[in-house]
Amino acid sequence: MSAPSGFLDSLAGELSQTFAALSAPERLAGLVHALAGTRIVFTTSFGLEDQALAALIAQAGLPVELVTLDTGRMFPETYQVWRETEAFTGLRIKSFYPEREGLEELVGRQGIDGFYESVAQRHACCEVRKVKPLARALAGASGWITGLRASQSQARTDIDFVSFDPTRGLLKANPIADWSREQLVDFTAKSGLPVHALHAQGFPSIGCAPCTRAIAPGEDERAGRWWWETSSKECGLHVGADGRLARTQSGKSL
């Protein structure tokens, strides 16, 4: 069951303002209360942000579905921390995969690593492996929880705690939007959370194996994603139809 779009649109600004004065656990609880009786989905890619949110959701026993997008090109270490996270939280993380026909057509057309050849081909790969599976994962949901943070990159500086996603007709919540990398490291260490092994090797942001490298000192956290490109470091999950980060009604980036 999902809430009406008009209700969610009006609720977004109210919640975002309220959340500014709350802790991350309080923000999660507030979102669940506001959307009581509807489906709420948290999408994890097992980075520090998502590990912290998974732990907070599990500790509070919140009725939130944990979901991940398995593109088929993930690092072995990602599957390892996936397994460890389920054991730690006691929660099953549901996976959504690319559809067979679309994936076969993509690889047949551009080759197994065609995404290196152009931005358009990389976007096509992300569309099949991530964007379309996300659409299935969020179908019928009223709330979508993400681990987006303002300090991850310049493009994400102005993200709101809560915004209305008109494309998907749901609330998009970023409960740790104001957390620093240092806060995340401290929280995960004190909580004893399983941590992705590649973080210790210079990978602050981790996606598909062919498309992620370690970053150099001074680079922002997402510089290692699609490093051969000079355009925005986004896969399409958080952008609008124009390929840019989706905008809120106030003009800020989601």
Residue 235 is a catalytic residue: yes
Tens of pLDDT along 73-115?
Answer: 999 999 999 999 999 999 999 999 999 999 999 999 999 999 9
* Cα angle 215, 217, 220; round to 5: 60
Three-class SS state of 40: strand
Residues 126, 208, 211, 235: which is the catalytic one? Answer: 235
Query: For residue 112, how many other CB atoms are within 10 A of its CB?
Result: 10
Does residue 188 surpass a pLDDT of 80?
yes
**Residues 239, 243: Cα–Cα separation, whole Å:** 6
Distance CA 197, CA 78 (A): 8
**What tens digit of pLDDT does each residue of 49-69 get?**
999 999 999 999 999 999 999
Query: What span, in angstroms and rounded, lies between the C-alpha atoms of 252 and 111?
Result: 37
83: nearest Cα among 196, 1, 183, 205 = 196
CA separation for the pair 60, 47 (Å, rounded):
20
Task: For residue 93, give both structure tokens.
Answer: 């993380």
Q: What's the whole-model pTM score? A: 0.88
What are 224-242's pLDDT values in tens digits? 999 999 876 566 565 554 4
Task: Give the pLDDT confidence score for residue 211 in this predicted structure.
Answer: 96
The predicted-structure confidence for 114-147, as pLDDT tens digits, reads as follows 999 999 999 999 999 999 999 999 999 999 999 9
Q: How confident is the model at residue 165 (pLDDT cuts 50, 70, 90)?
A: very high
In whole angstroms, give the CA distance from residue 52 to residue 184.
7
Structure tokens at 211: 């498309």
User: How much is the pLDDT for 216?
Assistant: 93
Bridge-based pairing of strands 65-69 and 94-96 is: parallel
Helix (H) / strand (E) containing 96: strand 94-96
Residues in the chain: 254
> Is the distance from CB of 161 to CB of 121 less than 8 angstroms?
no
Q: What is the pLDDT of residue 204?
A: 92
Q: Which domains does the chain have, with CATH numbers?
A: 5-98+136-200 (3.40.50.620)
